[in-house]
Each structure stands twice: as structure tokens, then as C-alpha cells.
Amino acid sequence: MNILDEIHKFDDSKDVTDAWTPPSSWYIEKEFMNLEYEKIFKAEWMFADFVHHLKKDGDYTTGKTANRPYVIVRDQGVIKAYYNVCSHHGTCVAKGSGNTDKLVCPYHGWVYNLEGRLRKIPKAGSIQEIHSKGLNLKEIPLQVVGPFIFLWLGNGNPKEFSKDLLEHFNRNHYSNLNFQKRVTYEINCNWKVFVDNYLDGGYHVPHMHPGLTTQLNLESYYTEIYQNWSLQKCLADKREAVEAEVQGRVEGEAEYTWMYPNFMVNRYGDWMDTNIAVPLSPNKTLIVFDYFHTSRPYDIEASLKASDKVQLEDMEICDMVQEGLNSGVYVQGVYAPQFEKPMYEFHKLLKASFLR
Ligand code: FES
Ligand SMILES: [Fe+2]
């Protein structure tokens, strides 16, 4: 496979009505995933965690994006992030989440304070000399927007966070949002299959999610596209006859925000849920859902169950898409022009990143 040829098979100069989708190689080849790590995941602001998980000084969380493990801590009221990599032999110094006043490497016990400074080296000879080598944890540029924490995991200087997206996030209300639950799913498809499904402008909703469709007024569905994000909105249907199993999930307006490359924020009335699609391999993706509500709803389990039903419907179809992509029978597809413009824009961004 010549990767450059494969990139150029996707012609982004066409109108959506005449355009072909990217070839299946983008979704199945390891080389594309390596390229994505370098050109996208280390070249964009990546969503990492929530302020909700760092309420008290000493709270920390850990994670990994594009093979780069990080630890986020709250130190004297300030949220900071470091590469979770010990300067001695590279061990991850923190695991999971919790509260601590220092980060102690589990291998030989080197101690870092929450400012990332190496404070103690057990049984070391000349500490002075070791210190001179700059052995503190490496800090990661970080941006807090509303409840969201974004990291810059690239090597160069961070680029400016999109101004209109910043305004959009800041316009939303997050006060009183309480974290309810994290749900993760591992799916057998490329991470972009999941994002494509999210960005089809509601096209699949009536066909695939009959339960959800009873709650939405799909006639009102519309999309706004910005430089590196898009917004899909839909009014809730006021009809009384809503299936009992999906009640309580959609009130007022549903708003779906997608931020390039893999972060999605969904608002429905008092609910907010976020999704990230973390690539594990070309055809394996970890999907992380975090649910928030402005109060603790009485029927939280019913609502989560309703959401789970929709997610499982989506994931099953994503797996089936991947099977077709893997088959060698499908090379390039087309867009449903009235709906799938946000998906086309996503593919254009991918191509621009690959060629950067
Ligand atoms: S690798 Fe961390 S103390 Fe040795
Ligand atoms: Fe869906």
C-alpha cells in the first residue's frame, strides 16, 4: 500500500453530492493509525478528563492517548498534567485515580511532588548530580474549558484552542452538573466508524433507533459546521406517547457537539453525556461514556438503560460496517447529501491532517 496514494483517493474538492468517501484502507491499515497518532492525536487538543474528578487538592486521575500516558493532578487549587513516566526507567508513576500528596514511582520509589519535581531518590549516591540532569516529570500543556480538561500531547507548541468552540462550550450551562456514571464499551471497529456514525446528521436515527425516534422531532434536525467542530440539533417531540422505557431521557432540545477528532458532548434537558472514541488498534476502539445530570434523577437507572439501548444499537452497526470495510469488496462509498455533510467535513479534516 502506498499511503500517499490512499490519502489522495479521497477527493475533498467535490460537492458532497458528487463526493466519494475515503477508501477502506483508512479504516483498516495500521499505517493509517500510526499516521493518525502523529498527525492528529499529537497535533490537536485532546479531551482527557473532567474537573469533577479533581475537586480537592491532591486528587489525581490517569489516562493514555496515542500511547502517551498522563497523570492529571490538582495542586493548590490548580489543575496540572504531566507525562506519567518516571525519569529513572520510564515506569508509570501513578495508576488509576485517587488522592495523594506525592507521586511515588512503584518501581524504585522515586518521589515527585505534585508540582512534578523530583524530591527523593531512595539510596541514591549523589542526589545533587542526579538533580542537575532535569529529572522532573514533564509537564503537559493543559486547557480547562467548562468542566472539560484538554491536553496537548504533541511535541511542538500547542496551537490556539478554537475560539468559536471555546465560546460554544462556555455558553453552555454546567453548574449543578453531577457526575453520575462512566460506562465503557470495547467495539470491533475503527474509531472513525464510530465518529462517522455520530456525524451522519441523524440519517440513521429513524431506521435504527425507533425508541429514540419517538422522542425527537426529526423534521427539526439541523446541523452547523465550523472549522474543527460541528453541532447537530433536534427538538424533542412533545407527543405524550413516549415509550415507557425511554422516558426521561430527552426533554426540550437535543444538542450534539462534536470536536475534532474524537470528542462528543450530548445535551438533553438536564442531562449531559460525553463520548470519546479511543483507538486501540485499527479495528478496535474503546468508547467511553460519562453521564452527568443537574440533580440526581429519580429514574437514573431507567434513563441509563434507555441510553445503553441506543449505544448498543449503534455499536452493533459499527461492527457490521467494519466487517464490510475489511472485506475487500467495498472500496469507497458515497454520502447521503441531505444529511452527511458533517461526516464529509470530518473526512476533509483527516486528509488535511495527514498531509500537514
Ligand atoms: S523507574 Fe521509577 S523509580 Fe525506578
Ligand atoms: Fe445512533
pLDDT tens digits, one per residue of 280-305:
999 999 999 999 998 766 678 888 88
User: With 0-12 CB in 10 A as exposed, 13-18 as middle and 19+ as buried, what is 133?
Assistant: exposed
pLDDT one-digit tens code per residue, 324-354 = 999 999 999 999 999 999 999 999 999 999 9
Regarding predicted confidence, which is higher, 15 or 206? Answer: 15
Grid coordinates representing 120 are 527523593
pTM greater than 0.85 (yes/no): yes
CATH topology of domain 3-44+164-354: Naphthalene 1,2-dioxygenase Alpha Subunit; Chain A, domain 1 (3.90.380)
Atom of ligand 1 nearest to the CA of 121: 3
- Residue 108 Cβ inside 6 Å of ligand 1? The answer reads yes
Whether 128 shows a pLDDT value over 90: the answer reads: no
14 vs 17: CA distance, rounded Å: 8
Q: What is the residue whose three cell numbers read 508540582?
A: 115
Residue in 85, 102, 110, 123 to alter for ligand 1 test, most ligand atoms within 8 A of Cβ: 110
Long-range CB contact pairs, 168-171, < 8 A, 24+:
168/229, 168/231, 168/257, 169/145, 169/257, 169/265, 170/145, 170/146
Atom 3 (ligand 1) nearest CA: 108
Using the CB atoms, write b or e for 90-123: b if 16+ within 10 Å: eebbbeeeeeeeebbbeeeebebbbebebeebee
At 320 the pLDDT is: 96
pLDDT of residue 294: 83
Question: Whose alpha carbon is nearest atom 1 of ligand 1?
Answer: 89
Ligand 1 centroid–CA 56 distance in Å is: 27
Helix (H, G, I), strand (E, B) or coil at 41: helix
Cβ of 34 below 6 Å from ligand 1: no
Question: Binning pLDDT at 50, 70 and 90, where does residue 189 land?
Answer: very high
- Beta partners for residue 120, in sequence order: 111
Ligand 1 within 6 A of CB of 104: no
Closest ligand to 310 CA? 2
**Which strand (E) or helix (H) includes residue 353?**
helix 341-354
Q: How confident is the model at residue 247, as a pLDDT?
A: 44
Residue 107 Cβ < 6 Å to ligand 1: yes
Q: With a cut of 90, say whether residue 154 has pLDDT above it.
A: yes
The closest alpha carbon to 172, from 236, 237, 231, belongs to 231
Tell me how far apart the alpha carbons of residues 17 and 235 are, in angstroms, rounded to a whole number: 27
Mean of pLDDT over the chain: 91
Residue ranges, CATH 3.90.380.10, the chain:
3-44+164-354
CATH 2.102.10.10 intervals, the chain: 48-158
CA–centroid distance, 121 to ligand 1, in Å, is: 9
For residue 144, how far is its CA from the centre of ligand 2 (angstroms)?
Answer: 29
What architecture does CATH give domain 48-158? 3-layer Sandwich (2.102)
